[in-house]
Each structure stands twice: as structure tokens, then as C-alpha cells.
Amino acid sequence: MHRADIQLKKLETWVNKKGFLLIKGKQKHIIDQIFMDKKIIFLSTRQKPINQLFSFLHEAGHLLIRIDNKKFVKEFPTLSSLEDKEGIKKPLRYYAEEVYEEQVAWKNGEKIAEELKIPLDVNAYYKYASRFLLQYMAMATCDRKWLIK
């Protein structure tokens, strides 16, 4: 068993204790994401085991942010009230909170690794995270009229 696979199993046990199910697969429709309402975390196995671990830590980081809904609503008021609403114009604060949540989820992933004594190459973890954080920022700014030109 690959070293990262052992750590993935340790993290899976942790999310199971929180009442969540991990579903892994190579299918194209499986992307790394968490569904709080269904208590499911999806993890793509199309990537290297170490990147799976990084992504899984990130999704577990979202679990810590959202497991206490009252705290989530207080910390992310605009995001929490508008994220399920389609077809409406969302204010700048919504996108700022969305990017901030992603940053916090990556930081939480690092804390979870520390708590579970999962060895983590912090430089490699944040190098991997940076690619996604930049994508989140780009998506938040795409076609927005408020962009500074």
C-alpha cells in the first residue's frame, strides 16, 4: 500500500466518525467536493495518491467550516444566504466570502493533518493549493462589471 494511501485511510476514518461517507472513483463525473446535506465527500482517484490526500484534506477542511451551521452563517453571511440561489446577481461580498472559504478550507486541511499526525509536506501542499486558489479567484472575477480595469 502506498504511504499516501495509508494516510487517506486515516482521514477517511476521521470523516466517517463525523458522520460522512467518502466516495472515490475514476469516473469523469466524480470531482473533489463535499455535500453537507448528504454527508458525502467525493474524491477523484484520477490523480496521484499524494494529490488525492491534499484534495481530501481540503474537502475535510470545508467540513470543519460548515459542520456548525450557525457559525458558518455568522462567518459567511452573504455566501450562506445566496449560494443556493440561481439566476440572481450576487454582490461582491459573496465572491469575497467564497474565495475566503476556500482559503480557510486549505488551512483547515493542514490543521487536520496535524491533528491526525498525517505527515504533510507543507510546501508541496500549498503549492498544490495555490493552483486552485488562483482558479477560485479567477472564477470569482470572470465577467464581473466591478473589475478594476
Closest CA to 113 of 93, 98, 133, 128: 128
Cα separation, 40 vs 50, in Å, equals: 21
Judged against a pLDDT cut of 80, whether residue 93 lies above it is answered with yes
Q: What is the mean pLDDT of the chain?
A: 92
Mean pLDDT calculated for residue range 136-149: 68
Cα separation, 59 vs 53, in Å, equals: 10
Contact 56, 41 (CB under 8 A): yes
Q: What is the pTM of this model?
A: 0.91
Looking at residue 149, what is its pLDDT? 47
